[in-house]
Amino acid sequence: MALGMTVELTQPDIETAIKEHLNKNGVDTTGKHVDISVTAGRKPGGLRASVNITAAPVAAEEPANIEEVVEEPIGSETTTESTAEPEDAATAGKAIFGNNASAG
């Protein structure tokens, strides 16, 4: 009595099998980008896989760990004391540049 078996492969399974086949036949794919395109042809042509092997892109170097310094904003609990001298009668009403504040 003969037993039948059906095996279904997904595209990732097929790509893995192709990569393993290449490696077993002396094509080193370690650290390389392997692009596999599978196309279906007409009956006599069947499936065809096009394999493009290129050097893997160099990953951008991560910046060194930089410690973030966060300064807390000055809150309302901070009090400031005025150190300004009280105005005397002679300088009252004069602007910074000597113009009379009441002139207009």
Please report, in tens digits, the pLDDT of each residue of the chain (104 residues total).
678 999 998 989 999 999 999 999 999 988 899 999 988 888 777 888 899 999 877 766 666 666 766 777 776 555 555 555 555 555 556 666 665 555 55
- Domain definitions of the chain by residue range: 11-55
- pTM value surpassing 0.85: no
Q: Are 85 and 91 in contact (CB under 8 A)?
A: no
